[in-house]
Amino acid sequence: MTIRTVSSRIVYENPWLSVREDRIEHADGSPGLYSVIDKPDFALVVPAQDDGFHLVEQYRYPSRSWSWEFPAGSFTPGVTGTPERMAAAEPAEETGFTAGALHRLGHVHCSNGIAGHRAHVFLATDLTPGEPHPEATELGMRQAWFPRAEVERMMRDGVITDGASPAAYTLLALWERNAPDRCRDGAGRRRSTG
């Protein structure tokens, strides 16, 4: 089934996003209305170390709650670049860790019913510690390392509710399963094949 755009108008805009209202026509010819949020793509990074992961916790105003997540973010308004460049900056900004290696895991649409932006997902390994440099909107953010089993428990128990983080973890699990010689522990060590 395809939907044809008849007309489109922006009803709200700020430096971070815009909301547009599209008049549409369904495949059967019936008219409709679609509201769409346009935002830039972002990078989500899974910082892996010692068979565990570095997560960040920040206050998410829309859900009025603190949220444990993998580090993620986009370029500031007016700045452009590749997803790899975004991914290289995020863990250093939010956790202080610099990745010696980045592995692209894929991408996901986090809210494809209302927005078209994507999360470009990367695994970060060979981590070097440093000082985080949070943006003004990230003040109060903290980071901590959790073993893999604890991260999985946090996802099962509803502690991690950010939709992109479990999706990224699934991409990581598929990446590990489909290439047995890739490192599983996040420290650059390869799994034994014999």
Residue 76: per-residue pLDDT: 86
Give the mean pLDDT of 121-141. Answer: 85
Cβ count within 10 A of residue 152: 15
- In one-letter notation, the amino acid at residue 53 is F
Tokens of 11: 């009803």
Q: Are 143 and 47 in contact (CB under 8 A)?
A: no
Give the mean pLDDT of 101-108. Answer: 96
Residue 45: per-residue pLDDT: 97
Residue 180: per-residue pLDDT: 58
Residue 131: per-residue pLDDT: 87
Residue 181: per-residue pLDDT: 59
Residue 182: per-residue pLDDT: 55
Q: pLDDT tens-digit profile of 33-82?
A: 999 999 999 999 999 999 999 999 999 989 999 999 999 999 988 899 99
Residue 190: per-residue pLDDT: 41
DSSP the chain: ---EEEEEEEEEE-SS-EEEEEEEE-TTS-EEEEEEEE---EEEEEEEETTEEEEEEEEEGGGTEEEEE--EE-PPTT----HHHHHHHHHHHHTS-EEEEEEEEEEEES-TTTB--EEEEEEEEEEE-------GGGTT-EEEEEEHHHHHHHHHTTS---THHHHHHHHHHHHHHH-TTSBSSSSSPBPP--
Is the model more confident about 191 or about 64? Answer: 64
Q: pLDDT tens-digit profile of 133-186?
A: 777 666 688 999 999 999 999 999 999 999 999 999 999 999 999 875 555 444
Residue 175: per-residue pLDDT: 96
Q: pLDDT tens-digit profile of 5-44?
A: 999 999 999 999 999 999 999 999 999 999 999 999 999 9
d(CA 172, CA 175): 5
Residue 192: per-residue pLDDT: 33
Nearest to 97 by CA among 136, 59, 123: 123
Q: pLDDT tens-digit profile of 65-79?
A: 999 999 999 998 889
Give the mean pLDDT of 92-108. Answer: 94
